Amino acid sequence: MLILGKMYKTRYFKFKNVIHRKVYTRDTLPSSTKKIYKPNPDKIAPKRKNMEGRFEKTVTGFRRNKLGIQMLSRALYDQIFPEGDNTKVNSDVIEKCIKTLEEQNMISKEDDFLQDVDIKLPKLQGKNIEEHFYNIAKEQAEPYLKLVGGLIGEIPLKPKLWVLQSGWTQYKDGEIPIKVPYPPEEALVFDVEVCMAAGKAPTLATAVSNSAWYAWVSPTLVEGTHKPVTSHSYTENILINLESTEKDSGLKISSHMAKPKVVVGHNVSYDRAKIREQYWLKSTGTKFVDTMSLHVCIGGLTSYQRAVIKSDKFNDEDDSWRSYSSLNSLVEVYKLFCGESLEKETRNLFVEGTISEIKDNFQLVMAYCANDVTATHKVLQKMFPLFRERFPHPATFSGMLEIGGAYLPVNGNWSRYVADSEQAYEDLEIEGKVILARRADQACQLSHDNMYECDLWMWDQDWDVKNIKTKKVPAKKKKQEEPPQAPTASTSEEEEPDPLREKFAPLWNTKEYLSSVKTLLPGYPNWYRKLCTKPSSGKDWVPGPHLISTSMQITPKLLNLTWEGYPLHHLREKGWGFLVPFTDDLNVTDRLPLKQLIEKCPLLSNKDGGTLDFNSQTLHSQVERHLGQKDFYSRVKKDKTQGLYKGSGVFCNTEVEDCCYFMKLPHKDGASYNVGNPLAKDFLNKFSENVLAGDTESAEKVLTIARMLSYWRNNRDRIMEQMVVWLERRGLPKNMQENSYGAILPQVVVCGTLTRRASEPTWMTASNAHRDRIGSELRAMVQAPPGYNIVGADVDSQELWIASVLGDARHARLHGATPLGWMTLSGTKSRATDMHSVTAKAVGISRDHAKVINYARIYGAGQNFAERLLKQFNPTLTQAEARSKATKMFNLTKGKRIYFIKQDYRLDFADIPYGKWQAFEIAKACGKSLSEMFHESKWVGGTESAMFNCLEEIANQDSPRTPFLNCRLSRALEPKNNGDDRFLPTRVNWVVQSGAVDFLHLMLVCMKWLMEDKVRFCLSFHDEVRYLVPEQHKYMAALSMHVTNLLTRSFCSYKLGLNDLPQSVAFFSSVEVDTVLRKESKQDCVTPSNPHGLTMGYNVPNGESLDIHQAIEKAKQENFLLYKK
């Protein structure tokens, strides 16, 4: 069925085999003759100008909007939007949208339509979808909001004397301290301290409620000793029992455990990882509130602002926002909100001291921990009311609580994974070192006849050698001393004189000339000696370059590496680069082998070009071509080579030996950065592209090994330091008691960035498994215990949809009203009509590269950043080619920024669109500011112009808010607290990214409403969400995930005034039902450390990927009806 708006009408016909061939009006007479024909598939229907009935109901029953976009089925629409669609859209606007779409061949075809979905949804908890989400979020958040609200009241004074006894001790004013099994209160401010020398296990903790103080002391501290730390695997009994007795286990959750409780701390995820009950399979009712995350929400900083605060030098103009924010540590946050300092010197005892030293200073360290608790409470008092004011929707708080309960189940395969990765790493590292040592030995032979002087890589190394050290021996008296005797092996009293012994006796005497300090490898060049270890007392020592590795500065030279065919070279001030010759005059230098360089590399024959000749007219013409002044002068500097060099190297105005340009290697962060190691992971892909190459097979092998080692080398320490807690067998079901099962609590900062995205250094940055990366199967080592599954999905094009729907709503209040909106909703990769394919085709780059640049642009990156990405993707592009492609891309997508002059100035200036620099020059000539003479600028002519206009409109408000949950921007970035537009790109990025955080919070709230306590949140990273689900509920959870996406997107559309939802984004493309935390359920995760894959190596079967229709069928098999009573 089809729900129709008031703006258009539909006629229904009883004939099944006919459709409209023309639109008839009420003026048609009853006696008129009408011919109705069956459709002719070979005939193309003519274009129709009449809008009435343009996209009416077809025989298939699909619902379309006025632009031909397929919408929700009638069955779903009536349940989600019971109020109908009262949106009024001007017909001229619709006609203009259609014209724009048709010009770009963006026409929806019924062949691309999806099968309608008909399912009975749970009844909305309100009269519309907006009220529904508010009510269910309030129901989830209200108990915890009340607890925190009560906790911000007064607390008792901290104890003056602390009792040294293991476990919990309660302190109340006027009462004797008593030992308690755990704090009985429902709201606590909590802090844990850990002796780093004793591992990651908790040493002591303090907590405070409105009525009492509590202290927990570990048995290890009472004893004053600890076992040596051999690994970071622990058992439950060394953790803090916050809500259970020692006899309780995770098999049964008591009423007290199930009751809503709240724990507040600064960076509370660190403290949560020390609590015993949080590792149980069944979760309790305790939630965690992080004051550090609240601070980031209220006053988070950009990286630039953080650098300014850390620096001693800053300008007065940078001072305007400093009163609204600070760094994230408790010391800085306490100083910001309370205006007081916090003592932190005692902290060194936990960082550098031993358990016995901490015990000796027991009163001091307990007071220190209690002071942190008091400071956290004072910060909470100031901060929480401000947070409630700036983040009014309960879904924000509820979602943050849910993310703070992240949980990763593991089993014995975790230990095997670490061991296998270490073994594979060590084996390949040894192989790589053997190859490098062989290359060093070969290069050492260049010292013969000074052959190194003709080598393009080794000519500048230290070829001086160390001779054997000798000492002077005093002359001996001839009369009194006998000639020295050579060693003898005589076995008789008298022997015959040996002429050979007498002849070589002086040679034996030369040992007296040797110095007691032996010279390491005399006769070898100094660069080689630096790679060798000194002789040891052991018998296994052999001379050789044992210290060599891919991180050493000489390694690229030993491998004869080139960039675009030019030999690599290193300068201390410029980092790594390469040499480009500009002269063939061999008399210029006597060090660099110029003759060999010219034979190998092309010569830039015209060096003496000087700077380019330009004047004001030249500068004006450049401005007219939409190049900023910064870009122009940057290009002037790079044109020193007169355009003769067209590669990707960065010209840095440096010459080597008066015969070569030194070109810096391109750094991923820009030309101002130096490359420290061309064998780092950022450059390894360039080897496969033949941009970075070696002259020998050894180079190829070493770079292949380096690529394999890169992931484990960079992540090894973080992975091996994960705190794994193994569960006691008595707390596990019978089917799990034969093997080892445990959990990792990732230390997630719920709002770790300015955009309120969660952050965590290991799990939220984990890549997918790659065949050439040791240890990259990390995510798959999170494995559900028997009887459980891991269910989750990737939100399809989350930020892209958010950005496009904002543009559609602003432009015409209609889904798919802009080219970006249409491509997001109806474009397909197979037909090359999606956003990334269209951009790639127009600009002439690959779809993958276009995808990266498209997202960067939506996040607020400018044209300069796009140029840099293009150069990274294809280093053979010249700067001019990269700029041309970037300009074309931005004109196609973002469009052009124009200004319209205000009414008061139209008598003197034409009322036409002005470019940025034109408007600036006019305002400058009139002595006015840009805002005084011109209206706010607009983007026009691009597929994304409407979207960027909407984003900038939100970002430029005095108090920017997210469009979905009305969350405020950090006070440090609000326009009313900053006098210029320095932070506009950051605010634009914030609108999209923080909108995506709203989306995530809404999803978590909806999933909790649907599944209640049948699922447990595992982890969310970027656009992925995963849950731990009992096996009997896995298909119910999969269907609930689909419905969660449907309701969340419907809410977002409703908030923008779009009372409908396109079918293409209503459900996930697939929900993964699996037993491990891999991205795709059928990914076998074959890596060098897991060569047999998950199926053969770990006996992990493939999971299932279920679309909405499959999920419905599977849920029916479980006799499940998705209906919440």
Query: What is the average per-residue pLDDT within 510-539?
Result: 80
Predicted confidence at residue 110, as pLDDT, reads: 73
Helix, strand, coil percentages, rounded to 5, for the chain: 40, 10, 45
Share of the chain above pLDDT 90, in %: 66
Q: Tell me the pLDDT band of 49, cut-offs 50, 70 and 90.
A: very low
Task: Give one DSSP letter per residue of 358-407, joined into a string.
Answer: HHHTHHHHHHHHHHHHHHHHHHHHHHHHHHHHHS--HHHHHHHHHHTT--
pLDDT of 1107 above 80: yes
Single out the residue of 192, 187, 199, 127 nearest to residue 152, CA to CA: 187
Q: Which residues contact 637 (CB under 8 A, 6 or more apart)?
A: 651, 653
Token pair 């592209």 is found at 689
- Residue 474's pLDDT is 59
Residue 10 has pLDDT above 70, yes or no: no
Report the pLDDT value the prediction gives residue 495, as an integer from 0 to 100.
61
CA 240 to centroid of chain Cα atoms: 32
Please name every residue paired with 569 in a beta bridge, in sequence order, or none if there are none. 577
For 448-492, the pLDDT digits (tens) are 999 999 999 999 999 999 888 777 665 555 445 455 555 555 445
Token pair of 1 as six digits: 């069925």
Determine which one of 78, 111, 173, 191 is catalytic: 191
Instruction: Say if CB 591 and CB 657 are below 8 A apart.
Output: yes
971 pLDDT more than 70: yes
**Complete DSSP assignment for 92-150:** HHHHHHHHHHHHTT----GGGPPPP---PPPPPSSSSHHHHHHHHHHHHHHHHHHHHHH
* pTM for the structure as a whole: 0.86
Q: Could you tell me if 622 and 632 are in contact, meaning their C-beta atoms sit under 8 angstroms apart?
A: yes
Query: Which residue intervals of the chain bear CATH 3.30.420.390?
Result: 152-311+318-390
pLDDT at residue 607 tops 50: no
In this structure, what token pair is assigned to residue 186? Answer: 């429902």
Distance CA 142, CA 148 (A): 10
Query: What pLDDT digit, counting tens, does each position of 581-596 carry?
Result: 988 888 887 889 999 9
Candidates 66, 85, 82, 63; CA nearest to 74 is 63
516-525, 749-758, 897-906, 968-977: the lowest-pLDDT one: 516-525
Q: Looking only at Cα atoms, what is the longest distance across the chain?
A: 153
pLDDT tens digit string along 150-174? 999 999 999 999 999 999 999 999 9
Cα separation, 981 vs 961, whole angstroms: 17
Which tokens hold the place of 731?
Answer: 């707390």
Is 191 a known active-site residue?
yes
Q: What is the pLDDT at residue 113?
A: 86
pLDDT value for 148? 98
What is the Cα–Cα distance from 159 to 177, expressed in whole angstroms?
9
Residue 1060: the pLDDT is 96
Q: Evaluate whether 11 touches 56 at the Cβ level (below 8 Å).
A: yes
Instruction: State which CATH number among 3.30.420.390, 3.30.1330.60, 3.30.1330.50, 3.40.1010.10 fits the domain covering 152-311+318-390.
Output: 3.30.420.390
Q: Give the bridge partners for 726, in sequence order.
A: 235, 742
| Average pLDDT score over residue span 103-112 | 82
Helix (H) or strand (E) holding 334: helix 330-338
764-813: pLDDT as tens digits: 999 899 999 999 999 999 999 999 999 999 998 899 999 999 999 999 99
Residues in CB range of 530: below 8 A, 6 or more apart: 547
Q: Higher confidence at residue 690 or residue 46?
A: 690
- Identify the weakest region by mean pLDDT among 340-349, 625-634, 657-666: 625-634
Considering only 101-105, 777-781, 1037-1041, which range has the smallest mean pLDDT? 101-105
Binning pLDDT at 50, 70 and 90, where does residue 12 land? Answer: very low
Name the band, by pLDDT with cuts 50, 70 and 90, for residue 54. very low
For the stretch 674-712, pLDDT in tens is 999 998 888 877 776 778 888 788 888 998 999 999 999
User: Residue 19: is it exposed, middle or buried by C-beta count within 10 angstroms (0-12/13-18/19+)?
Assistant: middle
939: its two tokens: 């983007």
Residue, of 103 and 33, whose pLDDT is higher: 103
Q: Give the pLDDT score at 346.
A: 95
d(CA 484, CA 601): 63
Check whether 979 has a pLDDT greater than 70.
Answer: no
Q: 621 pLDDT band (50/70/90 cuts)?
A: very low
Judged against a pLDDT cut of 60, whether residue 664 lies above it is answered with yes
Banded model confidence at residue 640, pLDDT cuts 50, 70, 90: low
pLDDT of 67 higher than 90? yes
DSSP output for 977-996: G-SSSTTHHHHHHHHHHHHH
Highest mean pLDDT among 494-503, 678-687, 1077-1086: 1077-1086
Encode 477-503: b = buried (16+ Cβ within 10 Å), e = exposed: eeeeeeeeebeeeeeeeeeeeeeeeee
pLDDT of residue 574: 94
Would you say 960 and 990 are in contact if contact means Cβ atoms under 8 Å apart?
yes
What's the mean pLDDT in 754-772? 94
**Per-residue pLDDT, 90:** 87
pLDDT score of 697: 84
The pLDDT of residue 1: 33
Cα 170 off chain centre by = 43
Q: Is 119 left (phi over 0), alpha (psi -120 to 50) or beta?
A: beta
